Amino acid sequence: MPRPDHYKAQLVDLQAHLVRWQQWAVEKGEKTLIIFEGRDGAGKDGTIKRITEHLAPRNTRVIALPKPSDRQRTEWYFQRYVRFLPAAGELVLFNRSWYNRAGVEVVMDFSTDREQEDFLRDAPTFERMLAETDIRIVKFWLDISKKEQASRLDDRRSDPLKTLKVSDLDAVAQKKWKAYSKARDVMLTRTHSAIAPWVCVHTDHKKRARLATIQHILHTLAPAHIRQDVPAPDPGVLYVFDEDALEDGRLER
């Protein structure tokens, strides 16, 4: 794990590169969408905070939607998300996204088998449509071990400053670990594409994960003159999904 002083210096340098990238993206009218998925406790909130900390609020939006209303349940599934997509010069980060349908809704039976199958079929097409309108899409799956998740969920319950992170679903995250693993494997396999590939990040070491995630964002989205001195992400921490990861131990079982 990076030493605290070394980590801070690396983070500040990467955040400065993010600021430079956003200045360029606003000038060029770039439309950017970053999706964060992962198990409870995998570090989505903390990673997003470090990414957005010094970016322009006017051009940066973090979307974390509550459960759908009765009316929204009758809409086209993607409809509630479309209204939050980026316009020119905007960066939108989804802290959980339409992939709820392939994860928690599968494990908790919040949607039907047909709705889940329709989603797995339609999501790549929907994302292709977004890409064809020049929205650049980055999708992260934050992976965490069962032991580390248990530790972080216990910490949430005992730390008064983390009370707002506690969810009713925390109680079943460990009990339904295997069900979540199965849903994750299906989701990654069925919705990984060349246009919108899944990028997996090991998050047991939060600081390494944050640095690697920002490095990937810059290497994927920033022009050469901005990313040229940014180190490549550690391949032991971050990698583009491929089906071998389902069997070779890179994904937590």
Alpha carbons 186 and 197: distance in angstroms, whole number = 14
Give the model confidence (pLDDT) of 141-172 as tens digits.
999 999 999 999 988 888 887 777 777 777 78
Residue 196 or 170, more confident: 196
Does residue 247 surpass a pLDDT of 90?
yes
Q: Which of 135, 118, 151, 115 is nearest to 35 (CA)?
A: 135
Q: Under a CB-based contact definition with an 8 Å cutoff, are residues 65 and 98 in contact?
A: no
Does residue 129 surpass a pLDDT of 70?
yes
Does residue 1 surpass a pLDDT of 70?
no
Give the model confidence (pLDDT) of 203-233 as tens digits.
999 999 999 999 999 999 999 999 999 999 9
Alpha carbons 216 and 202: distance in angstroms, whole number = 13
Write out the chain in H/E/C secondary structure: CCCHHHHHHHHHHHHHHHHHHHHHHHHHCCEEEEEEEECCCCCHHHHHHHHHCCCCHHHEEEECCCCCCCCHHHCCCCHHHHCCCCCCCEEEEEECCHHHHHCHHHHCCCCCHHHHHHHHHHHHHHHHHHHHCCEEEEEEEEECCHHHHHHHHHHHHHCHHHHHHCCCCHHHHCCCHHHHHHHHHHHHHHHCCCCCCEEEEECCCHHHHHHHHHHHHHHHHCCHHHHCCCCCCCCCCEEECCHHHHCCCCCCC
**What distances in angstroms separate CA 2 from CA 6, 7, 10, 200, 230, one per listed residue?**
6, 5, 9, 20, 16
Residues above pLDDT 90, as percent of the chain: 89
Alpha carbons 104 and 110: distance in angstroms, whole number = 8
For 59, other C-beta atoms within 10 Å of its C-beta total: 19
Does residue 173 surpass a pLDDT of 90?
no
Q: Under a CB-based contact definition with an 8 Å cutoff, are residues 187 and 127 in contact?
A: no
What are the backbone angles phi and psi of residue 103, rounded to the nearest 5°? Answer: -120, -95
Task: Quote the mean pLDDT of the chain.
Answer: 95
pLDDT mean over 34-58: 97
Alpha carbons 232 and 193: distance in angstroms, whole number = 22
Q: Under a CB-based contact definition with an 8 Å cutoff, are residues 42 and 142 in contact?
A: yes
Alpha carbons 144 and 49: distance in angstroms, whole number = 19
pLDDT mean over 33-50: 97
pLDDT of amino acid 165: 77
Domains along the sequence of the chain with CATH: 4-66+76-246 (3.40.50.300)
Strand partners, 201: 142, 238
